[in-house]
Amino acid sequence: MLALEGIKVLEVARTPLASFCTMTLGDFGAEVIKLDSPPKPGRENLAVSNVGEENRPLNAHWHVNRNKKNVVIDLSSKEGVEVFLRLAKTSDVIIEGYRPGVVTEIGIDYETVSELNPRIIYCSISGYGQDGPYRDFPGHDLNYIATGGALGLIGSSDGPPVVPQNLIGDWAGGTMHALSGILIALLARDRTGKGQYVDISITDGVVSFLNMYSPFYFLAGAVPKRGAGFMNGNFPYYSVYEARDGRYIALGCHEPWFWDALCHELGRDDLAGNIFKGEHLYDRDEGTDWDRIFSELRQIFLTKTSDEWVQLLSPKNIPISKVNNIDEVFSDPHVVHRKMVVEVDDPKAGKVKQIGIPIKLSDTPGSIRNLSPMLGEHTSGVLGEAGFTSQELERLRESKVII
């Protein structure tokens, strides 16, 4: 048994972050129906499944669409909206990623759907949320982490903010909060019998990640400076170092027992005791020559390769890791052991590697049952199950409402 068997999800989103959320629901057994629009020249996107058997290998590797069915409906037409609403009547979850107000203009908004299906869990993911002064602003991950305070904390004190990959806003602030909100709402529905609206703002999610700093700000007005706190690598006990092979190692020794153990193993007991203090969240303390300690450790770590340092120090209960490139991540023995790289047999695409399922459940684990479908591969089957007759399907296809 899969944990979410019997839950039907409609995905109406052209964004990978929403697709990643529904992928996770599908991994645990939900029936996920991905609604795509008919392809238009110049608007192709990898988030949308491709047409043609020659593209099946590409589709199969686009893992955010695995464990899904693909249906193509033209929501710009009145008939297309009617088709969607018929599907919504028997669904449990709808997730959409349009800009605020668009679904209302189309006629597939929560108010419309909930009148037909009061048990629906309707989730909207947007950059700034469904209300507020920034509601209608366009944006991307960079804008949301800027507004939410994360970007201003990343980088050195003597330079501009450093632009990270879109992991903080899109994938963490958006996808993970949407997944949590949907599951919480499903649990609440089991108790109340009613569905509800889930409004996910990526910016809200980013702001929520500031909880390490917010207590000190609210209590005493303390504002962390970019590059000044220990989480920025500004202290030698929590930073990255180059090894003899030109690779980098990550050292996380801000607890005194880790730091003292490191100093002992390096033959530098004289450096022990220079440890983390609460004020290091914001700035360096006076009286400690941190630059000298940094310089000496950098010279020490240049004497061995990254592998040698990990092999030497990890068994001594010292938090140290190699800084892996993506090719090393997927061959890392721990990542492989944890089944975060899996190989799936596809009858047409052959053996396809996928990122595995990070949520490990002992009794109802997730599974990868199907790879990403082709555009419109399940339109007839899904609509047929929803009660559409063969005559209706033929008419809708002739009028290009469906593919």
Indicate which residues carry an active-site annotation.
Answer: 140, 170
**Long-range CB contacts for residues 158-165, cutoff 8 Å, separation at least 24:** 158/227, 159/227, 161/226
Query: What are phi and psi for residue 376, nearest 5 degrees?
Result: 75, 15
Kindly report the length of the chain.
403
Residues linked to residue 250 through DSSP beta bridges, in sequence order: 240, 321
Cα(90)–Cα(80) distance, integer angstroms: 17
From the centroid of its chain, how far is CA 264?
39
Cα(43)–Cα(23) distance, integer angstroms: 23
DSSP assignment of 113-181 equals: HHHH-TT-EEEEEESS-SSSTTTT----HHHHHHHTTSGGGSS-TTSPPPPPPTIIIIIIIIIIHHHHH
Query: Within 10 A of 181 (CB to CB), how many other CB atoms are there?
Result: 20
Cα(225)–Cα(229) distance, integer angstroms: 7
* Backbone φ/ψ region at 12: left (φ over 0), alpha (ψ -120 to 50), beta: beta
DSSP assignment of 28-44 equals: TT-EEEEEEPPP-TT--
Token code pair at residue 241: 């170092």
* Backbone φ/ψ region at 42: left (φ over 0), alpha (ψ -120 to 50), beta: left
Query: Within 10 A of 204 (CB to CB), how many other CB atoms are there?
Result: 18
Cα(13)–Cα(95) distance, integer angstroms: 7
Cα(13)–Cα(96) distance, integer angstroms: 5
Q: Are 20 and 175 in contact (CB under 8 A)?
A: yes
